[in-house]
Chains A and B, each alone.
Chain A
């Protein structure tokens, strides 16, 4: 019989059971790594480093998970925070920020071959819209869950998803012609 996330969490918290935490990592590694790949614009190596950091931080702070949301939602939140911290450090060190990347990834200047790749289309969205699209449309989170992960109001999530989708549709319609 397969144990639920709650059972495994209980084992980690009460008994410090490493194997139980390993099982949680195995179960959730794919969506967490997938989300981080999208947020890092498909930088697989960086995304996997951030995913490792996510699980290590989750382990260290596992007692702060109170079961008010799903464990996966909590993990997404940890992953998003890890990504935000990395992005902030990168901006401080290299001076690259989202707006700059945004200008670099202008749809009009992007290689036409890349336009046919949804990854590149997603990469053209600003971070707040990209995060909302990745969580809600790709990972199947509800708007409410995404609001918890991103720590923003529910209405803002809905707006970001709507705007992001409109932009993606424009890019897609350009592909279709």
Chain B
């Protein structure tokens, strides 16, 4: 049989730990939070962007200061109008698909 004093003590201890209403506590904490620490994802983005910019600069100088861009546009201007239109449509669809995919991959379920 349980000691009645033990039971009384347990009951009283539990009574002394009621739920405390938030009453703006969370909002106060959120106001005082420091600006978000740079996440691993942010650091990764910075590295990728830097590498991309560096690659462009290297490619630009390695290709005779961008002569390949000039040549490409010259070749494109020689294409018949229908082929040029088809090329733009394909590029547009590819960019739209990538954009939609990127947007959907960022969508998550709500927190609450």
Residue numbers of A with Cβ under 8 A of B are 1-3, 8, 11, 13-16, 18-23, 25-26, 29-31, 33-34, 38, 48, 51-52, 55-56, 59-60, 63, 118-119, 122, 133, 137-139, 165, 168-169, 172-173, 176
**Chain B residues with CB below 8 A from A60, complex form:** 34, 37
In the bound complex, residues from chain B placing their C-beta under 8 Å from that of A133 are 13
Residue pair A29, B16 in contact (C-beta under 8 Å): no
Known A2-B112, A14-B39, A52-B32; judge A29-B26 contact (CB<8 A).
yes
Residue B12, interface by CB 8 Å: yes
- A59 with B25, Cβ < 8 A, contacts A14-B39, A139-B17 known: no
Binding site secondary structure of chain A: helix
Interface residues on B, range: 35 or more
Q: 18 A-B residue contacts at CB 8 Å?
A: A3-B111, A13-B40, A16-B36, A20-B111, A22-B30, A23-B112, A25-B30, A26-B22, A29-B22, A30-B21, A34-B18, A51-B25, A55-B29, A56-B32, A59-B34, A138-B13, A168-B9, A169-B9
How many A-B residue contacts, CB cutoff 8 Å? 96
Q: B9 contacts which chain A residues (CB < 8 A)?
A: 137, 165, 168-169, 172
Cα–Cα, bound, A63→B43 (Å): 15
Given A15-B39, A15-B41, A172-B5, do A22 and B26 touch, yes or no (CB 8 Å)?
yes
Please measure, in the bound complex, the distance between the C-alpha atom of A138 and the C-alpha atom of B11, giving whole angstroms. Answer: 10
From residue A160, how far is it (CB to closest CB) to chain B in Å?
15
A20 proximity list for chain B (CB < 8 A): 111
B10-A16 in contact (CB<8A) = no
Contact residues in B for A51 (Cβ distance below 8 Å)? 25
Closest Cβ of chain B to A58, distance in Å, is 10
Bound: A33/B19 CA distance, A: 10
B71 in contact (CB, < 8 A): no
CB of B82 closer than 8 Å to a CB of A: no
In contact, A119 and B32 (Cβ under 8 angstroms): no
- Residue on A nearest B10 in the bound complex, by CB: A137
CB contact under 8 A between A13 and B25, given known A30-B19, A56-B33? no
A25 lies within 8 A of B26 (CB) = yes
A70 to chain B minimum Cβ distance, whole angstroms, is 17
**B74 near A: Cβ within 8 Å?**
no
**Separation in Å of the A145 CB from the closest CB of chain B?**
16
- Give Cα A14 to B42, complex, Å: 9
Which residues of the other chain, A, contact B78 by a CB distance below 8 angstroms? none
Question: Which of B29, B39, B112 is within 8 Å of A52, CB to CB?
Answer: B29
Within 8 A of A (CB), among B2-56: 5-6, 8-10, 12-22, 25-26, 28-30, 32-34, 36-42
